[in-house]
Structure 1
């Protein structure tokens, strides 16, 4: 029996799709990181009961943080863009979260301006208000901790491998955390990261997606939680190809999932075909309800999915739309605009260090 709905919602299912392809299917994956992060920060005295936990999110992390705060009796504040739909905003507010929606003018740099505007608002709140803790899902490796349970689940299913794990990179915590813990458990795991074009994370920002940049798996700002040395291979996938794969996933396997899941499915079908002796598991991080109007409203989008093939490249200068793949070989990387470099050794296996919130300038690094 569960004590709170968040505990029931977080646990994924491992589903066999065909041949050597499997899916790790979540209702809301980021509950793992949010729940464990809040619990650990309370246990270690970094925050205290009654404090306000805040982060910038217009999607599942904000929902996950609101649920975690509801469970642990904390106040919650979500800084988001005006793109947040009314259904999600009402859920945030009914869970007790305060919602700050930051408006930005439309234009070609809307995604980058959205992120910047939200971080400006976060910095303003930290400068002027007390008892507010910024959760820093992009930067604080406390968010790795919750994914130990996912790694243990996969290890129980697949043992010591070999195994290929495919997932959207995003903040780095999910794929990085699951893979790190799997390798600690002795699993021979190949980690495949999936990125959109226009993301600084793996250097695709010069390549424009003529339709839209895919939210959630990449970013126009630097995320320090990404540990590049964990990744063996990277796929970059455009919006139309992702939409085709997302609808194909529903039509072929009855899996109603978000757009990042479609990206991962497309990459995983290629990975599974090129290594038929290895089980391949891709992450489906959330359900498809947020994409009912912009992806699932195009029922013929999957018609061309069987014709899609990536271009294999050897350097970032060769990145080509709509789909490229490169052997990353666990190398390090310093994205454009990065502040101080990350250490190569993670500290998420130990308790996070208690520290004050960053200054306004540090928020904007």
Structure 2
């Protein structure tokens, strides 16, 4: 196979068998698929045209993904970046032709996210021709995961699947589960950090949080709460232990959210089902903050979640398709990009 653009190679995942009933869906950069499919759809439907500028907020991974898609399709890209955007991402964005506007440094995740959203709105007021990609709220970002779901189903056949991964914007695990459920039995297990509003853990603070990318301090329109069967909340320490164990036991060098998903996947394995967990990115960004601290990792056999009680370092709750908790319910009054999405617009409530 010869790829037409590096985005194809970077976005294509690998299925790695770790045990008879446990697989890792390993990405180099997961959101490349999502961003590329979304941009293709927008171009095909005439919502944007070559030369237009696409804008969005990002803590790093989506920024690079959108910049790659814009590079491929002849579009301009502007990123309103989190304080967590690192130097490696900044240089890549610059060389790909994207512009980065980084928010002032802050240790407050909610303040960082709210600043980014406010800045996006200010940019749109100043230049209405900008197209806001709305990675957190536009279901067009689900489209890129259809082919991945088909790959998983082709590899596994009709076996029942338990899919485990970070919730984040809602498009990745939500999209994979949606398309997998078209062809078979799927349990969806979402992974969240403490402090995230999405599934109601915003009242529990994790002082060492470094896995904000799988949670949020503001409501996300792309999260379909009703799709999730179980939710796990993991603190930094247990996620670190999961990441270190994943590398030691299986040689998979992946990010902190992958460690959290590996931990949860081990707990959710059951006879008659194949468990697939998502490793959304590689571990390179976490060498100093996580892997260099491997001596702190606890054996996973010593860890167990609190059941139906939100408390550090790890909690689990059967969600059973319940609706969004009130603080996470989404109501969207911005119709600026109406028509670009495959979803009926929702709103704050």
TM-score after normalising by structure 1? 0.89
In structure 2, the gaps of 5 or more residues are none
2:339 match: 353
SS of 2:214's equivalent in the other structure is coil
SS of 1:78's equivalent in the other structure is strand
SS of 1:325's equivalent in the other structure is strand
Shift in Å, 1:10 = 0.9
2:89 match: 88
The 5-angstrom pairing of residues 86-235 of structure 1 reads: 86-104=87-105, 106=106, 110-184=108-182, 186-212=183-209, 214-235=211-232
Shift in Å, 1:341 = 8.1
1:347 match: none
Q: Does 1:301 align with 2:296?
A: yes
Shift in Å, 1:161 = 2.2
Q: Does 1:245 align with 2:242?
A: yes
Deviations 1:320-365 (A, max 9, x none): 21111111111212441644289xxxxxxxxx8248xxxxxx9999
Shift in Å, 1:311 = 1.6
| Alignment check: 8 A CA contact 2:103 2:116 kept | yes
Aligned residue pairs, count? 340
Q: Structure 1 161/6 Cα, relative in aligned 2: closer, same or farther at 3 Å?
A: same
Shift in Å, 1:213 = 5.0
Deviations 1:176-209 (A, max 9, x none): 111111111x211111111110000000000111
| Alignment check: 8 A CA contact 1:161 1:189 kept | no
| Alignment check: 8 A CA contact 1:21 1:279 kept | yes
Provide the C-alpha distance between the structure 1 equivalents of 2:296 and 2:261, rounded to a whole number of angstroms: 17
1:325 match: 316
In structure 1, the gaps of 5 or more residues are 343-351, 356-361
Question: Which portions of structure 1, spanning 4 or more consecutive aligned residues, are displaced by more than 4 angstroms?
Answer: 362-365
Provide the C-alpha distance between the structure 2 equivalents of 1:134 and 1:99, rounded to a whole number of angstroms: 15
| Alignment check: 8 A CA contact 2:164 2:278 kept | yes
- Two-structure CA RMSD over aligned residues (Å): 2.0
TM-score after normalising by structure 2? 0.93
| Alignment check: 8 A CA contact 2:39 2:69 kept | yes
Provide the C-alpha distance between the structure 2 equivalents of 1:7 and 1:284, rounded to a whole number of angstroms: 18
| Alignment check: 8 A CA contact 2:231 2:316 kept | yes
Provide the C-alpha distance between the structure 2 equivalents of 1:67 and 1:44, rounded to a whole number of angstroms: 20
